Amino acid sequence: MRSKRVLIGVTAGIAAYKIPLLVRLLKKQGFEVRCVMTTDAKEFVTPLVLSALSENPVFSDLISDDKSWNNHVSMAEWADCFIIAPLTANTLAKMANGICDNLLMSVYFSMKGATLVAPAMDLDMYQHPTVFRNLELIEKDGVRVIPAEFGELASGLVGTGRMAEPEKIFNDINVLLFSESNSHFEGKQVLITAGPTYESIDPVRFIGNHSSGKMGFALAEVFLKKGAKVKLISGPTNLTLSHDNLDLIHVVSADDMFNEVKNYWKEQDFGVFSAAVADYRPKEVSLDKIKKKSNELSLELIKNPDILQWAGQMKTDTQFLVGFALETSNELENASLKLENKNLDCVVLNSLQDKGAGFASDTNKVTILDKRNNKTEFSLKSKYEIAEEIVLHIQEMISS
């Protein structure tokens, strides 16, 4: 994986003298760093210092002295995040009002990644209603504001809107670029089916299968970590999970599971159907325990609803649907048929032929096929790791 890239925009505030420290912290952590500055910022910190520490040239003009063009779009594309520090009231006003009159502003308006700002100005300025309004405006545009700090003056009054310390800015950049919650799934609704289904024969017997539910529960855990709201509809298992954003719904039969999916599918952003749903159920469920009488007993079975197929039919353009396929022969062919017939975005194929893979085990070996005709094979991994890979695959598909 390549290093994360941080672009620092330095504007003309006294706190600019602290930016070399920020560059050092970022470089030490293994980030690639570049700096752009406004012309006036050079009065507070020299481009030479920033260039030496960042090991990259520092630009401030759209056109350099040698008449070469400093491409702001490629700089913005290069960066995973842009931190403008210190942020002056002047640059803030330009951001809030779409004024693009220097290289730094051109980069800002071309940024696709996140922008953070660390304002620095004296207290009166910081509390001016215009500045306050402009900060609100840029926050509405998605800019993250790292608030200035206020300290007590010797006189006992609260003074100065001092720029957040480089360590604090460095931490916020880390959280932004690495935190689990910085994900495509924050606040999204995810429906997961898990476990086996039990189809009653009589009050004490059922038709079931060996599914443990581990895969579905691991998926729920990974989505929850990424900030999603999860509805986990699970057949009978020994597993438990609790989380503020989890709604765990216990079901027994395929019909029960289908009813719950029908209740909730419409409002979901993602569906991952890992349950091993019984394809058939007894046509009649005996109200009394079936007595052993004759030497043979036949059970008439009827087909259960295909829950995944129904979700695929109902799927809207904004919903993303993942199915599982457990195959014993012609695996790839069968799995891609499922992908197509059930209108899925991707299908996770697990083969019972792979050692260490399967229902009750803690490990699994899967291949993900997706509707872009991509095939990704994974080595034997824990079910939790597989869940992480599946979620990463979804993330990659929705962001490409």
List the catalytic residues: 209
CB 3 within 8 A of CB 26: no
Smallest distance from ligand CTP to CB 379, Å: 22
State how far the Cα of 150 lies from the Cα of 160, in Å rounded to an integer.
6
**Of 186, 188, 172, 70, residue with least CA distance to 114:** 172
Smallest distance from ligand CTP to CB 37, Å: 54
Smallest distance from ligand CTP to CB 272, Å: 8
50 binds ligand CTP (CB under 6 A): no
Q: Which one, 122 or 279, has the nearer CB to ligand CTP?
A: 279
User: For 388, what's the count of Cα atoms within 13 Å in the CB-facing half-sphere?
Assistant: 7
User: For 277, what's the count of Cα atoms within 13 Å in the CB-facing half-sphere?
Assistant: 25
Smallest distance from ligand CTP to CB 384, Å: 19
Number of residues that bind ligand CTP (CB under 6 A): 15
CB 95 within 8 A of CB 138: yes
Smallest distance from ligand CTP to CB 108, Å: 45
Contact positions with ligand CTP (CB under 6 A) in 269-308: 273, 275, 277, 279, 304, 306-308
**Of 353, 348, 352, residue with least CA distance to 338:** 348
State how far the Cα of 183 lies from the Cα of 331, in Å rounded to an integer.
32
Q: Which one, 120 or 308, has the nearer CB to ligand CTP?
A: 308
CB 258 within 8 A of CB 307: yes
Single out the residue of 54, 193, 336, 351 in contact with ligand CTP (rule: CB under 6 A): 193
User: For 83, what's the count of Cα atoms within 13 Å in the CB-facing half-sphere?
Assistant: 27
- Binding piece for ligand CTP, criterion CB under 6 A, among 42-50, 121-129, 317-325, 349-357: 317-325
- Binding piece for ligand CTP, criterion CB under 6 A, among 36-44, 175-183, 283-291, 318-326: 318-326
State how far the Cα of 29 lies from the Cα of 257, in Å rounded to an integer.
48
Tell me which residues touch ligand CTP (CB under 6 A): 193, 254, 273, 275, 277, 279, 304, 306-308, 323-326, 338
